[in-house]
Amino acid sequence: MADNIHVNKSSANVSNETNDAKTAGKQSVAFKNPPYIIAAASIAGKKEGEGPLGNLFDKIVEDPMFGKDNWEAAESELMKMTAQHVLTKAGLENSDIRYLIGGDLLGQLIATSFGIAELEIPVFGVFGACSTMGEAMILGATLVEGGYASKVMAITSSHFAGAEKQFRFPLDYGNQRPYSASWTVTGSGAVIISDRQGQKKKDDEPDIVITGFTTGKIVDYGIKDSMNMGAAMAPAAFETIKQNFEDFVITPDYYDRIITGDLGYVGKNILLEFLKEKNYDITKQHMDCGIEIFNQEDQDTHAGGSGCGCSAITFASYVLKQLKERKWKRVLFVPTGALLSQVSYNEGKTIPCIAHAVMVEAR
């Protein structure tokens, strides 16, 4: 139970805090009334559908263009479909959602702006690269718990072709991807965060709540290779996870799973080594969405999946399912983002990275 978490108040550096403070440690928050995740939806592309999690997604769309003319319109359509689907699953209308917090990878959040325009829900657009789902869920839960909204939707999307076009090469260009390169997931995931319990399919189904979070700092260990984003992001994940342990005075076994977003095979090993050095062994608990979502051998995805959609659809399908079936009780969901742009890359800059940790519990 969140109430039982012993929060590290001593290091909280705000002087006027009382014992009622919801802040924990240096970078975290422990909610007094943890908001509920009442519904989730995940829509994925063909390749993701053929992956190990394929049968868990709500919908698989075979057409990479989603019936549209270009990749940007395709991703916008994908996000709209997901937003509508999560509303249907929750049995809600657009007008029931107070705020929508969403983001994607395309320049100036093309998919979010165009995709959800016609839903007419008040929107906060956020950018955290592939960590966007974490950021959206944190902000959504905070608004709900603070009493500023009753229901908030957190949504993100990514599209393989759109991301390749924006960050790498045109799709038809013949080049060889290094083993450390990741494969951007075509998919969109959404959750609805509410101050009240949702309807349940079964009586014994647990409530899924967000008990707290740790906000990440920008972490940059000087990696410049955009084809090795796992290595660039691993230190960011390390800092955030370590901070979460410190802020809540807990050890890794507090969680059944610690789920990073898209570190892939290269980044995963670096993260585990870093944490071991600080005497935190998370080998047993750790899981990476980028590794889970594809079959590395058969699907030729090299380091694993990436993109906003990667962690979002894995969370909305696989992770929530495990929590609902009480296979896991507590998870730390840590989407990771590489905040590079085409311009900063061309200017020879390093890749700044971020990771946000969301504490999710079945109770």
Interacting residues with other proteins (CB under 8 A) = 69-71, 165, 169-180, 220-223, 228, 231, 235, 266, 269-270, 273-274, 276-278, 350
How many Cβ atoms from other residues are within 10 Å of residue 205's Cβ?
A: 15
Toward other proteins, which CB reaches closer, 152 or 234? 234
Answer whether 360's CB lies under 8 Å from 211's CB: yes
Toward other proteins, which CB reaches closer, 21 or 65? 65
Q: Cβ of residue 44: shortest distance to other proteins, in angstroms?
A: 21
Toward other proteins, which CB reaches closer, 3 or 172? 172
Answer whether 74's CB lies under 8 Å from 159's CB: yes
Q: Which two tokens stand for residue 215?
A: 């906000």
Toward other proteins, which CB reaches closer, 74 or 332? 74
Q: Cβ of residue 227: shortest distance to other proteins, in angstroms?
A: 10
CB neighbour class for 19 (10 Å; exposed up to 12, middle 13-18, buried from 19):
exposed
Across 317-363, the runs of DSSP E, i.e. the strands, are 330-334, 336-338, 353-355, 357-362
The residues with which 102 forms a beta bridge, in sequence order, are 125, 155
Residue in the block written with tokens 């868990």: 56
Pairing of strands 305-306, 183-184: parallel
Percentages (nearest 5) of helix, strand, coil residues in the chain: 35, 20, 40
User: What's the distance, CA 231 to chain centroid?
Assistant: 18
Answer whether 301's CB lies under 8 Å from 182's CB: yes
Q: Cβ of residue 221: shortest distance to other proteins, in angstroms?
A: 4
Toward other proteins, which CB reaches closer, 174 or 348? 174
Which helix or strand (DSSP H or E) is residue 257 part of?
strand 257-260
Toward other proteins, which CB reaches closer, 251 or 342? 342
Q: Cβ of residue 360: shortest distance to other proteins, in angstroms?
A: 29
Rounded to whole angstroms, the Cα distance separating 233 from 215 reads 15
Q: Cβ of residue 71: shortest distance to other proteins, in angstroms?
A: 8
Toward other proteins, which CB reaches closer, 10 or 346? 346
The torsion region of residue 24 among left (phi > 0), alpha (psi -120 to 50) and beta comes to beta
Q: Cβ of residue 176: shortest distance to other proteins, in angstroms?
A: 5
Toward other proteins, which CB reaches closer, 50 or 225? 225
Residue in the block written with tokens 């980044």: 267
Q: Cβ of residue 175: shortest distance to other proteins, in angstroms?
A: 6
Classify 361 as helix, strand or coil. Answer: strand
Q: Cβ of residue 156: shortest distance to other proteins, in angstroms?
A: 23
Toward other proteins, which CB reaches closer, 274 or 345? 274
The residues with which 157 forms a beta bridge, in sequence order, are 104, 188
Q: Who contacts 323 (Cβ-Cβ below 8 Å, separation ≥6)?
A: 206, 208, 329, 331, 360, 361, 362
The residues with which 64 forms a beta bridge, in sequence order, are none
Q: Cβ of residue 51: shortest distance to other proteins, in angstroms?
A: 20
